[in-house]
């Protein structure tokens, strides 16, 4: 039996018919997962920008964050908004699509065309829901590596990403040290802290507390736990911004009024902003995917796979690194980046470390901050020279 | 018509028949509220400990935090747990019940016997729900002042409280400068920040997203939005603890297992802990009360009532102050206490300020921290001497 689903949310149409290139893998390229699970049939949706050179030496893999996707530098097919990293990726940008062949794929567990919990389980003909094995950061990277093979790229010129994307960068150099020439882990950590897990757990409980979640089978029952997902997003969003950023952007300003109304309405601008973040998110993201990607981060502890030694995880790493943190990021604070740098130094890697001063918090990596853009540009230019790539056209 | 409610939650029985002393006020002592609302009939439930001396000069008012109550130093009638501040209040403790007459009342908007949204609205015979006017910190203090009048106390020897309790302390000295001899605002702020409002808004949205909330009329419909309230509590609880405290207490330790199970169970100890905090909270707290007390904090901005000048709020204040903060408290950080101290200094008040070094975060004020206990003891002893109270019995 095959269930025909009418995905209520526009975003979920991308599960079946993504506005992207899609690579399909069958049993001869099964995805063996950390949990012991195995996907005999799976797909990965991706975007590319620019041209792969003859030497195949100019490919950059961009890894997206928790609720990001492959639409890094093109208009988003669901929201119509510009690509999520248009400040960094494009002609003349640090990740210059006139010079580099840029690849960005949706992670395993996602909902933009790569196999995730909203995808049909070929064994049952219904959506996976929670039947999809738990996904880890390493599973995401395994899938990306198979995509890179499929694209005929042996060594990536650079792997770059922020937040959960940065975790993938770290996993790439640990899992495939020979395949990475340079790496930029940004605003990230080598393991999820107790507080990180705590916030993610609140989000998952908010989704699961919604009676429309239906133990994960909502798609077949024609409902969507949008209220729970919106609450999850609101809580998470606070962690993406610094206290100072909230204070300078919103402070205690009232929403469209001069005096308080003494009610439970969105009286303060910050409330209105958060409610908007929650309600707009549910139009583009699958609630079960949210469970999977948050869980993947929680399981991330790179050192744990190497007898608890992060330095050992990076042993033999040849890539040159640029580690970037933001001093007001309290989700993955500077100290977490410093720990990565220490471990890389212990392994003898070439590392530059930039802690950028900004009050914007974790989300700073998505913003057009001159110091961040210049740092990225400088690192990539220098790595390109070392890689023997021709300089940018004048 | 009078609706007879069978409160499902044991905690809500306290609304109708609190295990406390209760003062009832009628139209001649109506409570005029900041929102413009007015309670012609209202009650305030309270506990006292120790004896009021003949000069009536030894009364200490303890103000409770967000979800606290009047049971500061006796076993809680719902949970059976020790009083929430047994470390600070009792014989031989800093707030020595052998020396002082200690009063602690449940706030307006609460659910332990003081008029709140679960109380019957005398005009309709059904629970107020959201018909209760929005409550402010100043409303809480107005009600306390009327209780103090009722108890025959003119001047309080000390007003003390942490977190939302500290806001009440600040409001007391601003509203009734002649009636406060000494004051201890602890782990608090003179206004709610944008981030503070944001976290509270997430909690309220979690409650309101629960279909059992029924627009606040759940008591009449025989349901309780426990799932939403539990999520709200989980999110809030993270803000009460520091990143370091979570890391040292839980880290990434697994719950009752040696290896990960790769599931959405409470795999990590921190998840289990948070789930417990959520599920135990709903047994003792009314979801609508949670909306009211969080909202009261959000509206708190003491300077706003004094042309934006906190120093002006404290003009003419005669009380001696001990302001206490905890260096790992990120909910009401040290800087917020420092702002209070600066404003008090500008007003010429006598202030000692202690920033206590601990990794325990905001909840440190509820713990038996030697430096905190000693600071409180020293301040109160010195104030007692100035007040002409006899020294503690040897």
What are the pLDDT digits (tens) for B216-227?
999 999 999 999
Q: Is the dihedral of CA B249, B251, B254, B255 positive or negative?
A: positive
pLDDT tens digit sequence for B278-294 = 999 999 999 999 999 99
Residue A308 has pLDDT above 60, yes or no: yes
Give residue A12's pLDDT.
79
Average pLDDT, chain B: 95
Quote the radius of gyration of chain B (alpha carbons, Å): 21
- Chain A residues within an 8 Å CB radius of B34: 262
d(CA A199, CA B126): 37
Give residue A347's pLDDT.
85
Q: Do A209 and B210 touch (CB under 8 A)?
A: yes
Residue A329 is among the residues annotated as catalytic for this protein: yes
Question: Cα distance from A313 to chain B (closest Cα, Å)?
Answer: 18
Mean local confidence (pLDDT), A21-28: 97
d(CA A288, CA A293): 9
Residue B159, SS3? strand
Distance of CA B273 to the CA centre of its chain: 23
Cβ contacts of A1 within 8 Å, gap of 6 or more: A125
* Ramachandran angles phi, psi of B174, nearest 5°: -75, -45
Mean local confidence (pLDDT), B253-265: 93
| Confidence band, pLDDT 50/70/90 cuts, at residue B1 | very low
Q: Which residue has the tokens 């110091």?
A: A371
Give the annotated binding-site residues of B for substrate: 233, 363
**A130 vs B264, B274, B275: nearest CB:** B264
Q: Kindly name the residue from A69, A242, A329, A337 that is annotated as catalytic.
A: A329
Residue B226: closest CA among chain A residues belongs to which residue? A209
Q: Kindly name the residue from A57, A163, A325, A376 that is annotated as catalytic.
A: A163
Percentage of chain B with pLDDT > 90? Answer: 93
Residue A76 is among the residues annotated as catalytic for this protein: no
**A271 vs B197, B260, B301: nearest CB:** B197
Q: Do A209 and B191 touch (CB under 8 A)?
A: no
d(CA B29, CA B13): 26
Q: Which residue has the tokens 């993270």?
A: B238
Question: Cα distance from A337 to chain B (closest Cα, Å)?
Answer: 16
pLDDT tens digit sequence for B12-38 = 788 888 999 999 999 999 999 999 999
Give residue A10's pLDDT.
62
d(CA A144, CA A148): 6
- Chain B residues within an 8 Å CB radius of A252: 191-194, 197, 301
Q: How would you list the strands of the sheet with B59-63, edge to edge?
A: B21-25, B42-49, B101-105, B59-63, B158-162, B182-186, B320-326, B350-356
Q: How many CA atoms lie within 13 A of B284 on its CB side?
A: 15
* CA dist list (Å): B235 to A208, A270, B133, B270, B393: 15, 17, 26, 12, 45
Give residue B393's pLDDT.
78
Question: Cα distance from B293 to chain A (closest Cα, Å)?
Answer: 12
d(CA A336, CA B197): 28
Residue B253: closest CA among chain A residues belongs to which residue? A194
ipTM: 0.95
Provide the angle, in degrees to the nearest 10, between the axes of the packed helices B287-299 and B226-240.
Answer: 40
Average pLDDT, chain A: 95
Q: Do A36 and B192 touch (CB under 8 A)?
A: no
Active site members of B = 163, 329, 362
Poorest-confidence range of A51-55, A336-340, B10-14, B65-69? B10-14
pLDDT tens digit sequence for A25-53 = 999 999 999 999 999 999 999 999 999 99
Domains in chain B, please, with CATH?
10-193+307-386 (3.40.50.1820), 197-293 (1.10.1740.110)
For A11-59, the three-class secondary structure string (H helix, E strand, C coil) is: HHHHHHCCCCEEEEECHHHCEECCCCCEECCEEEEEEEECCCCCCCCCE
Nearest CA to B154 out of B186, B176, B125 is that of B176
Residue B364 has pLDDT above 90, yes or no: yes
Q: Do B194 and A270 touch (CB under 8 A)?
A: yes
Mean local confidence (pLDDT), B266-270: 96
Residue B2 has pLDDT above 50, yes or no: no
Mean local confidence (pLDDT), B239-260: 95
Q: Which residues pair with A42 in a beta bridge?
A: A25
- Chain B residues within an 8 Å CB radius of A206: 206, 209, 231
Count of other CB atoms within 10 angstroms of residue B58? 25
Question: Cα distance from A190 to chain B (closest Cα, Å)?
Answer: 13
Q: Do A195 and B238 touch (CB under 8 A)?
A: yes
Percentage of chain A with pLDDT > 90? Answer: 93
Tallying the residues shown for chain A, one arrives at: 394
pLDDT tens digit sequence for A246-290 = 999 999 999 988 899 999 999 999 999 999 999 999 999 999 999
Per-residue DSSP letters for B287-316? HHHHHHHHHHHHH-BGGGGGTT-HHHHTTT
Residue A196 has pLDDT above 90, yes or no: yes
Residues A116-121: contacts with CB under 8 Å, at least 24 apart:
A116/A15, A116/A286, A116/A288, A116/A289, A116/A292, A117/A216, A117/A286, A117/A288, A117/A289, A117/A291, A117/A292, A118/A7, A118/A12, A118/A15, A118/A219, A118/A286, A118/A288, A118/A289, A119/A15, A119/A43, A120/A2, A120/A3, A120/A5
């Amino acid at each position: 039996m095959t269930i025909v689903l009418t995905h209520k949310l526009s975003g979920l149409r991308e599960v079946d018919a993504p506005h992207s290139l899609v690579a399909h893998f069958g049993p001869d390229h099964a995805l063996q997962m950390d949990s012991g699970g195995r996907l005999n049939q799976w797909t990965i949706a991706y975007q590319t920008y620019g041209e792969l050179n003859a030497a195949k030496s100019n490919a950059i893999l961009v890894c997206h964050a928790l609720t990001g996707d492959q639409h890094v530098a093109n208009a988003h097919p669901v929201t119509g908004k510009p690509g999520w990293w248009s400040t960094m990726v494009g002609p003349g940008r640090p990740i210059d699509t006139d010079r580099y062949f840029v690849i960005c794929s949706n992670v395993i567990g996602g909902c933009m065309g790569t196999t995730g919990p909203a995808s049909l389980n070929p064994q049952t003909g219904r959506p996976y829901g929670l039947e999809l094995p738990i996904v880890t950061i390493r599973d995401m990277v395994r899938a990306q590596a198979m995509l890179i093979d499929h694209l005929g790229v042996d060594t990536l010129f650079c792997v770059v990403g922020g937040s959960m994307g940065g975790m993938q960068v770290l996993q790439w150099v640990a899992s495939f040290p020979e395949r990475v020439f340079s790496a930029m882990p940004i605003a990230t950590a080598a393991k999820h802290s107790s507080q990180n897990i705590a916030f993610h757990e609140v989000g998952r409980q908010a989704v699961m507390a919604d009676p429309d979640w239906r133990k994960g089978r909502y798609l077949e029952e024609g409902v969507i736990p949008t209220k729970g997902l919106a609450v999850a997003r609101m809580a998470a969003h606070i962690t993406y911004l610094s206290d100072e950023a909230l204070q300078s952007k919103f402070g205690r300003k009232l929403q469209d009024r001069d005096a308080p109304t003494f009610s439970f309405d969105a009286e303060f601008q910050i409330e209105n902003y958060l409610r908007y973040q929650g309600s707009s998110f549910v139009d583009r993201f699958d609630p079960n995917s949210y469970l999977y990607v948050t869980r993947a981060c929680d399981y991330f502890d790179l050192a744990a796979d190497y007898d608890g030694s992060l330095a050992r995880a990076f042993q033999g790493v040849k890539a040159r690194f640029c580690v970037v943190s933001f001093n007001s990021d309290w989700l993955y604070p500077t100290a977490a980046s410093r720990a990565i740098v220490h471990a890389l130094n212990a392994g003898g890697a070439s590392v530059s470390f930039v802690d950028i001063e900004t009050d914007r918090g974790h989300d700073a990596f998505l913003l057009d901050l001159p110091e961040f853009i210049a740092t990225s540009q400088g690192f990539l230019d220098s790595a390109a020279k070392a890689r023997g790539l021709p300089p940018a056209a004048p």
